[in-house]
Structure 1
Amino acid sequence: MMLIATDLDGTLLRADKTISARTAAALDRAAEADLPVVLVTGRPIRWLKLVYEQLAIPLPAVCANGAVVYDPARDQVLRADPLAPDVLAEIARRLADEVPDAVLAVEIVDGREMRHQVEYPILWDSAHGGVRAVDAVAELLTEPAVKLLVRAGQRDPDEFTARIGKALHGIAEATHSSLSGLVEVSASGVTKAAGLAWYCDRLGVPAAQVTAFGDMPNDVPMLAWAGRAIAVGNAHPAVKEVADEVVASNEDDGVAIYIESLLP
């Protein structure tokens, strides 16, 4: 059995965060042809509602860069692999040494809620519930978090991610999926590849039968794991480097065109 795994932002979704009519139709046809599709995203669960509202069928999702596997039909978390409080405390200590001006946020309750330092800029979460500011970093470290977010003003995203990754080597994974200087930190070994591999193993689908689509560095582990790796035309250079093929951009329905080529 073949399986399609696709990133959302910058890959399946257009810049305005909508799914085109052509893409929605391709996903419907895939369902009719029994070609499973799973969403693999850095987004937390609470950000998926606006996606599911555009789909005829709620597709399963690997969220938070692999830390959460979610079944929307039952609103059920099938698997979660969070950062433990003691690991969060060590991360916070290392970050305070490495980047004293860093401000932090955490995705908790499997990504249904977010807590952030008062100074942490909320750029995209104003439309989502479950977000609360706290006065002290210690308040962010008391319960498991499926993702920790790091900002320190305007930074080159690739350089800043590499710096944070070096500081957290051995205890956590660091990646990024935007150009805003945001670094996303997950538990050690937790990547989109790991979350997708767990889901595929559950279905009995080997990596060789998975075709994966992506556009940003957080997609690289998934693309390296999948049997067929596809970069959209607007992808980051690191993604195109590991891809087997480059298709049209997210604005030009690259994923939909490829899925259409697989269907009768």
Structure 2
Amino acid sequence: MSIFAIDLDGTLLTDDHQVTKMNKQAIQLAESLGNTIVIATGRSVHSAVEHLKMLEIDGYVVALNGAVVMETSNQEILFEKMLHKEGAKAMLEIGEAYNANVSISCLENNYQVDFTGQKQDFVQEFLPGQTPFTIISHQEAQQIIQRDSVLKVAIMNENIEKLEEMKRHLFESGHPVISSDTHYIELMAEGVNKGYGTRIIAEKLEVPKNDIVVFGDQENDLGLFAIAGVSFAMGNANPAIRLIADHVIESNNESGVGKTIMRLLDNRRTVLRGGQE
């Protein structure tokens, strides 16, 4: 049995956020042959689960870049780690300083603080189909950070240069953010990443590292690549991801995930047939 850990945006999903027929069929076939499917994403638990439902399979989700790990068949939370309040406050403060849009993710609820003055739903603009985010005030955000278990805070801005400035300031103040898209920087608790979350699932299922197959395209997939037996970067992936991947495959718009899974399954069938002859 293998684990197939798959990122969503820019990987499984096309640029218009759809799952191709090839991707769906390949994943369903892999699951029917006894493999485990893991959706590993920066999106919320709800959004990750909805995509597994769309694929019509049970599996696992590593959501919010690894801050939450859940088995979908019984909705059991296998892991959850909240972000330190200081980090959440730092993200909120720098978002305000740069007139950016800030999102706050908890297990059940998601919020946006709009410092742009445009009253835009940036999450829906950049990630259509994402769980709805409630737009709140700066004061309400401070209360939520103080009161609730915040798992991830993200800053969204269309100005990439400003985003890089924010990223640098946060690093210098001890808050190492990551990027899941050119318009996003995200902060989770220390040690949280997609790889750590996927390893929890692998240990539960007693799947060795060699049997962990991962697919990704962005900086927030680095942790995933670090724990993989074999890693596949999409043709559209960030150059840094393509550089460290074992293989570079077709793009997200070309059903790269599905085509690769089918090749892997075909290779296994060939090996089995050879062993029986």
Q: What's the TM-score, normalizing by structure 1?
A: 0.86
SS in 1 for 2:59: coil
- Alignment-derived partner of residue 123 in structure 1: 122
- Alignment-derived partner of residue 136 in structure 2: 133
Structure 2 gap ranges (5+): 270-277
- Alignment-derived partner of residue 146 in structure 1: 151
- Alignment-derived partner of residue 274 in structure 2: none
- Alignment-derived partner of residue 243 in structure 2: 241
- Alignment of 1:34 with 2:34, yes or no, is yes
Q: CA RMSD in A?
A: 2.5
Does the CA contact (< 8 Å) of 1:105 and 1:140 recur in 2?
A: no
Amino acid in structure 1 at the alignment position of 2:164 = E
Amino acid in structure 2 at the alignment position of 1:249 = S
Does the CA contact (< 8 Å) of 1:20 and 1:253 recur in 2?
A: yes
SS in 2 for 1:15: coil
| Aligned CA distance change for structure 1 residues 191 and 173 (closer, same or farther; 3 Å) | farther
Larger Rg: 2
Does the CA contact (< 8 Å) of 2:11 and 2:252 recur in 1?
A: yes
Identity %: 25
The CA deviation at 1:69 is 0.6
Distance across 1 between alignment mates of 2:55 and 2:158: 36
Structure 1 gap ranges (5+): none
Amino acid in structure 2 at the alignment position of 1:159 = E
| 1:172-191 matches, cutoff 5 A | 172-180=175-183, 182-191=184-193
Distance across 2 between alignment mates of 1:156 and 1:96: 14
- Alignment-derived partner of residue 102 in structure 2: 104
Counterpart among 191, 194, 207 of residue 192 in structure 1: 194
| 1:23-172 matches, cutoff 5 A | 23-48=23-48, 50-89=50-89, 92=92, 95=94, 99=97, 101-108=99-106, 110=107, 112-119=108-115, 121-125=120-124, 128-129=131-132, 131-136=134-139, 137-142=141-146, 143-151=148-156, 154-156=159-161, 159-160=164-165, 162-169=167-174, 172=175
Distance across 2 between alignment mates of 1:232 and 1:153: 23
The CA deviation at 1:53 is 4.2
Q: Between Structure 1 and Structure 2, how many residues are aligned?
A: 257
Q: What's the TM-score, normalizing by structure 2?
A: 0.82
The CA deviation at 1:227 is 1.7
| Aligned CA distance change for structure 1 residues 160 and 250 (closer, same or farther; 3 Å) | farther
Does the CA contact (< 8 Å) of 2:210 and 2:229 recur in 1?
A: yes
**Greater per-residue helix proportion:** 2
Distance across 2 between alignment mates of 1:239 and 1:157: 23
User: Over residues 194-231 of structure 1, what are the superposed CA-to-partner deviations in whole Å (9 max), with x where a residue is unaligned?
Assistant: 11112211111232321111011111121122121110
| Aligned CA distance change for structure 1 residues 91 and 154 (closer, same or farther; 3 Å) | closer
| Aligned CA distance change for structure 1 residues 153 and 16 (closer, same or farther; 3 Å) | closer
Distance across 1 between alignment mates of 2:176 and 2:18: 29
| 1:203-214 matches, cutoff 5 A | 203-214=205-216
